[in-house]
Amino acid sequence: MGDGRMGYDWETLEKRLKKELTDERYRHTLGVMYTACSLAMRHDVNPDQARAAGLLHDCAKCLTNKKKLSMCQKKKVKLTEFEKSHPFLIHAKLGAVIARDYYGVEDTAVLDAIRWHTTGKPAMTDLEKIIYIADYIEPNRFKAPRLEKIRRAAFQDLDVCMYMITCDSVNYLKADPGSMDRMTLDAYHYYKELTEKRNTNDGVK
Contacts with Fe ion, residue ranges (CB under 5 A) = 58, 135
Q: Which is nearer to Fe ion, 56 or 153 (CB)?
A: 56
To Fe ion, the closest distance from the beta carbon of 84 in angstroms equals 18
CA-closest candidate to residue 18, choices 117, 103, 100, 90: 103
Q: Which is nearer to Fe ion, 20 or 135 (CB)?
A: 135
Check if the beta carbon of residue 51 is closer than 8 Å to that of residue 39.
no
To Fe ion, the closest distance from the beta carbon of 203 in angstroms equals 37
Q: Half-sphere exposure (CA, 13 Å, Cβ side) for 108?
A: 1
b/e sequence 161-171, b meaning 16+ C-beta within 10 Å: bbbbbbebbbe
To Fe ion, the closest distance from the beta carbon of 118 in angstroms equals 5
Cα separation, 43 vs 141, whole angstroms: 22
Q: Which is nearer to Fe ion, 48 or 135 (CB)?
A: 135
To Fe ion, the closest distance from the beta carbon of 140 in angstroms equals 10
Q: Which is nearer to Fe ion, 134 or 158 (CB)?
A: 134
